[in-house]
Amino acid sequence: METFGARKTPEVFLLSMAGGKFTVVYSGAIDDNPQTASDVKQTFLKDAIEKLLAGQKVDVAVERVAGCTIRRK
């Protein structure tokens, strides 16, 4: 989590490999409702994965995360 600069949990990072190097193509929230799965309207991570697998550009590269702050010593 320190490598990517995660600040809250849950915060996800989707990586893509190109030219032998990994790059972050999406970071942020999994979806728009971390509390209630049945109320999810936008699936940020799923949408980004589908775009990546289809060889398309990820539309939203960063999405705000709602969650608990990660404490570091």
* The pLDDT value given to residue 47: 95
* The pLDDT value given to residue 1: 53
User: How far is the C-alpha of 71 from the C-alpha of 52, rounded, in Å?
Assistant: 31
User: 19-34: per-residue pLDDT in tens?
Assistant: 999 999 999 999 999 8
User: 52-68: per-residue pLDDT in tens?
Assistant: 999 999 987 888 888 88
* pLDDT of 8 over the 90 cut: no
* pLDDT of 16 over the 70 cut: yes
